[in-house]
Structure 1
Amino acid sequence: MTSGSARLVVQTWLGTRLVILLVAFYLAVVEGRALPDMFDNWDVSHFLAIAEQGYIGTDVAFFPGWPLLLRLVSLTGLPAWLGGVLLALVASGLAAWALYRLGGPPAAIAWLLAPTAIFTVVPYTESLFCAAAFWAWDRALAKQWWPAAALAAVAASVRVSGVFLILALAVLAWNQGGRRWPRLAWLLVPTAVVVGYASYLWQLTGSWTAWYDAQATGWARGLTWPWVSFQHTLDAAAPGSYANYPEWSWMFRVELVAMVIGLVVTIYALAKRRWAEGAWVGVQVAAFSISYWFMSVPRAMLLWFPLWIDLGRGLAGRTKPRPWRAAMLGALAVVALALQAVWAWLFFSGRWAG
């Protein structure tokens, strides 16, 4: 890591976090919104409730790792929401560092400029999951499978995407040749985390499908044929579908775009014979396609490190930057920051931000 490129990544991390936090302070000053209330929107309220009182009702749809961390932070005297913000900020830096190692400065910068970066600042699971998953991939590429397994276990403790990570790491382990079974055996560690949570829910609810039932009941994520899910999303994206919440239709349109991007990234990775990366993105796209409708896909794009690596490389080019390219990249950065500000405004003002 050269000092110049490292400095640019750090500056991007600081700049993007600052833009998002400035939106929060703007709303606090202009509209009189309290900071705790702005950071406690949507899933954050579920995480904080679990951290405070344990699982109740459909809250079992959320894996326990993140609420447990929030509870531990609150024991220090910090408000849980503030501790979650600090943890997310640190974890987003670690994720960017891992992406730097995987794809160079352009990959890390592209990820930091993602429009949905708000979810790497507020107390959501994205920052911690990305940090653990990206570093797990980095260690697996280096054939250091015991730290890869440990990091994958951390990722599997915070969200169901850990299941997809285990599958993709299994493909990577198999394709590395040589003695495959010892590498695959290490993946029993993160698998045990998933099985452990399922067993806990069985003891708590008496059902092995408690997690799925909570997702279907609380978030309309019941199993649906892909073409039916696509039609439901089209209907929701149609103008005027939600007269009282106009941003909802726009968000569903973004969901459609995100699914197309996921398909393109998957096909491109498979065409390049990057089987494990194709599996990592493809299995997530497949999972989203069999829900009632496409939901939370733009947020999940933060997890798709092959997207940010390829995007960064494509924008940076292979030759020495020319003035027109520098101007184009600068304009794209401004647009990205503007989109980040819009997404932050949606979230902090209590509107649906995906």
Structure 2
Amino acid sequence: MARTLRRLADENLLIVQVWLVSRLLFAIIAVTLAVAGRRPLESVLAQWDVGHFLKIAREGYADPDEMAFFPGLPLLLRGFTELGLPAVLFGTILALACSLAAAFALKRIAGAWGAIAWILAPTAVFTAVPYTEAPFCAAAFWAWERASQRRWGQAALLTALACALRVSGLFLIGALAILAITQGRNPSRRRGVRDGGLGARLAWLVLPTAVLVAYVTYLYGLTGSWTAWFAAQEAGWDRGFHWPWEAIANHWEVVQRPTPDHPEWVWLFRAELVSWVVGVVVTLVALFRKRVAEAAWVGVQVLAFSLSYWLMSVNRAVLLWFPLWRQVGEFVESRPDTTGWRVVGVLAGLVALAVQGVWAWLYFTGRWSS
């Protein structure tokens, strides 16, 4: 027992240490750029979608294009502002705290090494700034962990929170419904757990579904259209419907055509394609291992990205794919604990930090970073 507790404490400490090193790297890059450019730190942190969240927090959905963003994070940022607090700074603190919470949820799902791999993900900078990735991952990962333990009431509340943050909550509801079915029709007989059986588990999912319905209804009240969210996606981000083969063809054309003014763009588009392939592989591996709900969680997102003009924001979506990090964690756990593998692990960690640093630099300098 004492040995087990010591091992758990060591794993928790390692997760916190890796998280601190990674976030310290982001802080050093952001502060250096702010000092070198004689700019406020907030202007370095508040790139791209942060501007949309701040605008919604100030003005609501006055601009129809802003309806592509769910209201959860803007409401939190507005709350900070109402309290007289700098929204960008406290939004960053929120993201940092949520990223650590998500890592510990992922430890329960994917093991310590899965959580560490997620912390070191290439696009982890988006979990350290006022984006929805960190709070969504915290809510979604804990929701999955609670549902896996048949704590469906807790899972429903966390899923409802996730649904207020981004449309990915819809996919989470679907994956949880499959998890509820695959857990069996009978109530749990585990000590201290009463989930009421299949009907009760599915009934709990009405709560997060109501959050999505409420947002769609709210947009209908503003615009008179039940498809206002889709219209905003198409108008602002060119995400109208295309067949997957059209999306792949359009994307392939872009990765073959570098942009002289923005040489980093072609590499980011290539990374989008790699991330999409990773999603396909993770889905197939999950199916092979008979983890149908996990396969559905990743697979439906891969499909959704395949229905736009090209593949966009897949690099960031990788952060949401806890089955990927579970598979990575299982791979690491299956390796022999030898000096050679430890060296490989350390080198992999250093490379991951270097890639994170490059991606953070792209974000903080205002370059397109997915």
Per-residue deviation at 1:52? 1.1
Report what 2:206 is aligned to.
188
1:262-341 matches, cutoff 5 A:
262-319=279-336, 321-341=337-357
Report what 2:45 is aligned to.
39
1:135-150 matches, cutoff 5 A:
135-150=142-157
Per-residue deviation at 1:101? 1.0
Aligned 8 A contact 1:74 1:83 in 2:
no
Query: In 1, distance between residues paired with 2:281 and 2:23?
Result: 29
Report what 2:269 is aligned to.
252
Report what 1:227 is aligned to.
245
Per-residue deviation at 1:53? 1.2
Aligned 8 A contact 2:164 2:212 in 1:
yes
TM-score (norm: length of structure 1):
0.98
Letter of the 1:255 counterpart:
E
Report what 2:34 is aligned to.
28
Report what 1:200 is aligned to.
218
1:8-157 matches, cutoff 5 A:
8-55=14-61, 56-157=63-164
Report the secondary structure of 2:369's partner residue.
coil
Letter of the 1:81 counterpart:
V
Letter of the 1:186 counterpart:
W
Query: In 2, distance between residues paired with 1:51 and 1:19?
Result: 29
Report the secondary structure of 1:324's partner residue.
helix
> Percent identity of the aligned residues?
53
Q: Answer with 24-33 or 172-181: which moved more.
A: 24-33
Per-residue deviation at 1:245? 1.5
CA RMSD of aligned residues (A): 1.0
Report the secondary structure of 2:164's partner residue.
helix
Aligned 8 A contact 2:126 2:133 in 1:
yes
Q: Answer with 24-33 or 156-165: which moved more.
A: 24-33
| Cα deviation 1:79-137 (Å, max 9, x = unaligned) | 11111101001100100010111121101100000010000001000000000000000
Per-residue deviation at 1:235? 1.3
Aligned 8 A contact 2:335 2:341 in 1:
no
Report the secondary structure of 1:90's partner residue.
helix
Stretches of 4+ aligned residues off by more than 4 angstroms: none
Letter of the 1:281 counterpart:
V
Unpaired segments ≥5 residues, structure 2: 187-196
Report what 2:191 is aligned to.
none
Per-residue deviation at 1:318? 4.7
Report the secondary structure of 1:11's partner residue.
helix
TM-score (norm: length of structure 2):
0.93
2:349 is the counterpart of 1:342:
no
Q: Answer with 22-31 or 59-68: which moved more.
A: 22-31
Per-residue deviation at 1:230? 0.4
Unpaired segments ≥5 residues, structure 1: none
Report the secondary structure of 1:280's partner residue.
helix
- How many positions carry a matched residue from both structures? 352
Query: In 2, distance between residues paired with 1:296 and 1:326?
Result: 33
Per-residue deviation at 1:63? 0.4
Aligned 8 A contact 2:272 2:315 in 1:
yes
Query: In 2, distance between residues paired with 1:304 and 1:175?
Result: 20
Letter of the 2:102 counterpart:
A
Query: In 1, distance between residues paired with 2:31 and 2:329?
Result: 31
Query: In 2, distance between residues paired with 1:266 and 1:32?
Result: 46
Residue from 163, 181, 202 that aligns with 2:170: 163
